[in-house]
Structure 1
Amino acid sequence: MLTSFGQAGAADCLAERQGEGRVAAVVDARSFRLDDGREIRLASIEREGTDRVSARAALSAIVTGRDVTLHGEDDTPDRYGRQSAFVFVAGSEHSVQGELLRRGEALLSGDISDKNCAAALAAAERAARDAKLGIWAETTAIKNAESPGDILAAMGHFTVVEGRVLSVRQAGAITYLNFGRNWTRDFAATISRRIIPAFENAGLGPKSLENRRIRVRGVVSSRGGPRIELLRVGQIEVLGGN
């Protein structure tokens, strides 16, 4: 059940208010249409794999027919005409994003700049993962970096991969976190030179990750072996020591 507003909710993901409305229909697992015609895309979460029926049903159960407020830094629609926002159902202290993550019906994208919001949503995802809810009930929810074929099967989809970084190498303007020895076959995460300083400032300099077990998330592509491009610090989670 959604509970009433409290200080915790106000401290988490309530950025500047960018509008309000009543939800008329759910479009897919992470977007819906208001009764005035605006299409809203839930910020900072991703669907897992293909558009799962259960994820769409979960969003529908939370928002359909409900009054909502929209919060964010910018209400400019994207090229598809969708407004990206953190969404709160009237009377709830948790964002819709947090509810979906808590139920295991979404993945955290890792693109949140506000630390309080990022921490709250990461905790929601972690709770679902620990309880093996929704997505996390599947043993394949987190791909093994040592199984490049399984990762390639998720080509074009947002995916979570876990493994040990065996080596860190730079080629031109790209740094590779290599999870295997064969660059034409094995999985690697890539970081562009221009954003290396952001990772270093967060204590995640590429060289410091060598021989560390980490979890990365992003859209899978293929350049020889499967790849995930790391654009933001939030896409990396260090899991333990050497």
Structure 2
Amino acid sequence: MKRRAFIAGAASFCAIRANAQTPVVNATALSGDRFTVGDDEYQLADVIAPPLYTLKKTPPAYFEAARQTLDSLLRQGVNIKEASPKSRWGVQPVIATMQASSRTLQEILCAAGAVRVAPQTENHDHIDRLLAAEKTTRDGRKGLWSLDSYSVYKATSANGAIGAYNIIEGTVVRAAKTRSRFYLNFGDDYRTDFTAGAVSRIYRRWAKDEFDLAALEGVRVRVRGFVEEINGPSIDLIHPKQIELLHARTA
């Protein structure tokens, strides 16, 4: 076989393998979004459940209910396919689909209120379905949405969201660009008020794709991500679906 043909064949095989769905047997849920099969650990992509790994002595609120929901679904039979490369800890992100239907576990878990949406993959259509399911469940205060621990924070009180994955709503007061980052400021004092920001290369790429952060000034939005303490509460933007537009730009 010629070298070029061999390389093309190998690449084709790898692509098929990466896109192939694999049946899951004898899976055990570790949390609402993680499970093991033998010695391998998997993470459901684009969602986040009450976390398995925490510095606190007790599990977070709704942890066991979310874990049991995933465990019951795994026992019904699912197929998985890789969603992105393994993490540095060897955990494989996957999209999981029920064997008896075309629905993903992520969609079912969002509808049950066992997880929240945490955009990760480039499958934006799937993420949009997850966001729609999450909204319905959140509006109905079902599952974890019935608890204050997972309520949507206002930008004016985002200090309470620091140190965990949370969702924050507010109006962008000012959109500002520096040499290395682009910032969405939700108050007059960027040193204390809630801020969401992206590195310049991400901002430029999104702008080319007609998602310009600069156009969000005066717009009410919902932002999700891990909230850190950096000049007040702050979320690092790495995926465009972390931002949901709630209202049009004000004059």
- Match for residue 43 of structure 2? 41
**C-alpha contact 2:46 2:127 (8 A) present in aligned 1:** no
The answer to whether the aligner puts 1:183 opposite 2:178 as a matched pair is: no
2:136 corresponds, among 122, 127, 138, to: 127
Question: Is 1:79 equivalent to 2:79 in the alignment?
Answer: no
Q: What amino acid does structure 2 have at the position aligned with 1:40?
A: Y
In structure 2, C-alpha distance between the alignment counterparts of 1:181 and 1:170, rounded to whole Å: 16
Q: Match of 2:14?
A: none
More strand by share: 1
Asked whether the 8 Å contact 1:162–1:214 carries over to 2, the reply is yes
In structure 1, the residue corresponding to 2:26 is in which secondary structure? Answer: strand
Deviates more, 1:112-121 or 1:100-109: 112-121
Q: TM-score, normalised by structure 2?
A: 0.80
Q: Is structure 2 residue 233 aligned with structure 1 residue 226?
A: yes
SS of equivalent residue, structure 1 residue 33: strand
CA distance in 2, matches of 1:185, 1:79: 33
CA shift, 1:239, in A, is 0.2
Structure 1 alignment gaps of length 5 or more: 1-14
Aligned partner of 1:194 in structure 2 is 201
1:39–1:148 distance in 2 versus 1, CA, 3 Å:
closer
1:110 touches 1:232 (CA, 8 Å); kept in 2?
A: yes
CA contact (8 A) 2:219 2:247 kept: yes
Q: Which runs of 5+ in 2 are unaligned?
A: 1-17, 52-59
Q: Write out per-residue CA displacement over residues 95-146 of structure 1, whole angstroms, 9 at most, x where no aligned residue.
A: 1111110111111112231233222222221221222211222355111101
Aligned match of 1:27 in 23, 26, 30? 30
Higher relative contact order, chain-length normalized (CA < 8 Å, sep 6+): 1
What is the distance in 1 between the residues matched to 2:166 and 2:180? 24
Deviation, 1:46, is 1.1
Which is richer in helix?
2
Matched pairs, number: 222
1:112 correspondence with 2:121: yes
